[in-house]
Structure 1
């Protein structure tokens, strides 16, 4: 493709993208295809000769688009959002065109220094101490993996990277059952084993019981284990559980454990003054992560990872072959994460924060929280439904009630599993499920950039309609 054709087709794509964002409500939220439908329409061998852009884009529209679940749909209430905004999309175009690999300062000084500045901005917005440092990872899963590696090295006096775990007493990490599955994966990848996760008991509101945490640490020490780290949650995935950061931080410092705080989704809400109290005790933590790509309108992928002591993270991850030695006295972000190659993600943070400002982002998040509270109250007052967990930020859970009033939840669980399937198969809206105290329940997470109250209300009407045919 020559530059003239590129210019022509690029303009066509911008028009298509603008039309897509304007008309995305016309699509079913979740893809309606069956497994194998897309693959059956794609050739088994690559083409020998190049094809025209017109042919390729036609197949994109006719083959690929039916298999897309529309994360940018305003009635997407499943999982957590992965939001896009015009400012972020424009930045992604430039990132793509520049093709920067920001592994070292000298491979693009602007990429490194912009990342340092925008991470300071994000830290100020959510309440990270000024003396902390930050890095943009791809996702919170990577940040959590880095935190567990850093905790492993700190607990073994940095011997594990050199000598392995062969002569090391088993390490223990402490979380609740509400913590994200990425922690178990990180424990496996770090060579620590998922069996060495100690699941701490929770209180009635599903937050970590700090008394139980202290007892677990002492019990493991008495058995010859080495307690190494704690992962606390602010807004856990299932139903938004919030661990008491200050109390856990005190335990971590007294016991000498590394404390990582996972606020992947809810961290964005910490830019609201009314939620800043949840950061009380952050000075006792060692690292903190949240995903601006979930609720701030900064394009996926973009995870903000903050550390109290950057040298611990760098020492854990640094490898220094001759071909990577560069200027001294500058930040080389290749030492801060798993990957050597790094995209220039800071550009989209810069575009969005400058284009929208903190006030606009705060207003949007606050509105989503208000809508969740309003809808939860409506559901709680609707016959045939029950609110299971109150809104945590903009997430709550509920279930439909069976007419028989079964005691063991079997019939109610089957009803709610059938309901979530019926709702999602319809395509009008998209919700997900979880299990709380043996009950199959439905999660409702509000957070899309272009969502309106009408989108919320009409989706609730659809849920009631589907439930009436099943109850």
Structure 2
């Protein structure tokens, strides 16, 4: 059924600056009110499939409506279909922080409407980005060759998925330059563990390596970290079979359990076979802003060819803002550079500027650096460290509460803001026990009071409690634990 158009002033013209000022103030007030009241909302949207779509008109309106109608539909139709990632009881996935400074920085970026494909299209878009990626490299304790005034440099991607894709393209370019033209087709291989993010395998498919040539390396059964000895065996076997190993992805903080691969041991193997080492620290890498956490990057300085971490997860910067650093920018630029006549300009041809179009898959790029710059300026290093430390401390206390209860167990080790745990059941059949665990989680999530997710470890279902939203305090964590225990008792 086609819903009638909303009442209100009809128009077909551009929004005037005066109208923008009026409605813009209302939107900012709306966002501020939302952040204040988000805790009153059910964490997970109760919407059923198709419910939002059915509430919208089947066809685009012929005549424009006043912005009042847009905001009214926002509250009436859109908001009930939102899962509230900024809710203090959102524990399902790694945080997607949306802080005030980041939102305002994004608004400034949208208002400027910059298309920063090359330096000449907006010098500040490029140069502010080089500054903030260098700032963050320093704050994380990354090596000097990852800085833009070194051999490599940093760039803001949309996500770690794009980061691994361009890193793989750079690795393929480097190995092709090394091997030159081959008398027969070359079979390239790449290496991940069973805990590695699925985006790495997708990158292999996109780049033509193919799923069949993505090797799955065993993990240590206790730590779930990649086994370097098996990595060496797989690489050696592929070389003996005539393949060319091109890429290894080591993870610092896997998505499933935040396991940490032994980067140094993996790096030594990569160095001995001249294989590109990419370090995926999408979630956990920003923890190294705290000096006491920099141990997670052991081996990165000596061996990593590329390193990715997302500011939009745990560093108070709203999506999308993924960072990629490379130790040597030349393979990256060599893989991605293409200069049509309409983009030629004096600055680019001088070699004195960075054109970030050569550091990513798409040509166009938004002014993402503004929101990261706003966050770093507002919080400072001290404020960012305080946020990370608070998340770790709350996770530690939650793990202690779970460990003290004989009806639950914690999967150790946990290093960051994620705690994996599971209820213990009198049921001895593993499949039945896993079914009860899933029913427990679904009951908690359906209540609207909180939102958890699950994974499988050693074939068993475990629950994931991810802590890190700016609004989350220890009172929310303790209340969540009380609710988990209460619901578990109903299933006992």
Per-residue CA deviations over 1:149-198 (Å, capped at 9, x if unaligned) read 111222222899xx9x9943211111111100101111111111111111
Q: CA–CA distance in 2 between the matches of 1:166 and 1:39?
A: 55
* Aligned counterpart for 2:155 among listed residues 135, 145, 160: 135
What's the offset of the Cα at 1:392? 2.5
1:381 corresponds to: 404
2:36 corresponds to: 22
2:380 corresponds to: 357
Given that residues 395 and 443 in structure 1 are in contact (C-alpha distance below 8 angstroms), is that contact kept between their aligned partners in structure 2? yes
Q: CA–CA distance in 1 between the matches of 2:486 and 2:191?
A: 43
Q: Give the alignment of 1:66-145 within 5 angstroms.
A: 66-132=80-146, 133-145=153-165
**Is 1:450 the counterpart of 2:468 in the alignment?**
no
Per-residue CA deviations over 1:212-241 (Å, capped at 9, x if unaligned) read 111111111111211111100000000001
**Is 1:186 the counterpart of 2:203 in the alignment?**
yes
Per-residue CA deviations over 1:338-382 (Å, capped at 9, x if unaligned) read 111101011111111111101111111112111111111211221
**Is 1:431 the counterpart of 2:448 in the alignment?**
no
Given that residues 187 and 194 in structure 1 are in contact (C-alpha distance below 8 angstroms), is that contact kept between their aligned partners in structure 2? yes
2:491 corresponds to: 470
Q: CA–CA distance in 1 between the matches of 2:137 and 2:447?
A: 41
Distance 1:13 1:315, change over 3 A: same
Task: Judge which range, 339-348 or 200-209, deviates more.
Answer: 200-209
1:335 corresponds to: 358
What's the offset of the Cα at 1:465? 2.1
What's the offset of the Cα at 1:257? 0.2
Given that residues 158 and 316 in structure 1 are in contact (C-alpha distance below 8 angstroms), is that contact kept between their aligned partners in structure 2? no
Given that residues 175 and 200 in structure 1 are in contact (C-alpha distance below 8 angstroms), is that contact kept between their aligned partners in structure 2? yes
Q: CA–CA distance in 2 between the matches of 1:286 and 1:436?
A: 30
SS in 2 for 1:69: coil
2:7 corresponds to: none
1:218 corresponds to: 236
Structure 1 spans left out of the alignment, 5+ residues: none
Given that residues 223 and 413 in structure 2 are in contact (C-alpha distance below 8 angstroms), is that contact kept between their aligned partners in structure 1? no
Q: Give the alignment of 1:380-399 within 5 angstroms.
A: 380-399=403-422
Given that residues 265 and 291 in structure 1 are in contact (C-alpha distance below 8 angstroms), is that contact kept between their aligned partners in structure 2? yes
What's the offset of the Cα at 1:383? 2.9
Structure 2 spans left out of the alignment, 5+ residues: 1-14, 147-152
Given that residues 174 and 229 in structure 1 are in contact (C-alpha distance below 8 angstroms), is that contact kept between their aligned partners in structure 2? yes
Per-residue CA deviations over 1:108-134 (Å, capped at 9, x if unaligned) read 000000000100001011122112210
Q: CA–CA distance in 1 between the matches of 2:418 and 2:279?
A: 19
TM-score under structure 2 length normalisation = 0.92
2:279 corresponds to: 261
Task: Judge which range, 127-136 or 379-388, deviates more.
Answer: 379-388
**Is 1:305 the counterpart of 2:319 in the alignment?**
no
1:417 corresponds to: 438
Q: CA–CA distance in 2 between the matches of 1:287 and 1:301?
A: 19
Q: Give the alignment of 1:143-222 within 5 angstroms.
A: 143-157=163-177, 167-203=184-220, 204-222=222-240
Q: CA–CA distance in 1 between the matches of 2:237 and 2:217?
A: 12
Per-residue CA deviations over 1:302-353 (Å, capped at 9, x if unaligned) read 0110000001100010111111112222100000001111010111111111
- Cα RMSD (Å): 1.5
TM-score under structure 1 length normalisation = 0.96
Distance 1:167 1:29, change over 3 A: farther
Question: Size of the alignment, in residue pairs?
Answer: 466
What's the offset of the Cα at 1:442? 0.4
Q: CA–CA distance in 2 between the matches of 1:348 and 1:119?
A: 12
Q: CA–CA distance in 2 between the matches of 1:418 and 1:202?
A: 29
Q: CA–CA distance in 1 between the matches of 2:64 and 2:56?
A: 15
What's the offset of the Cα at 1:262? 0.1
Q: CA–CA distance in 2 between the matches of 1:261 and 1:378?
A: 33
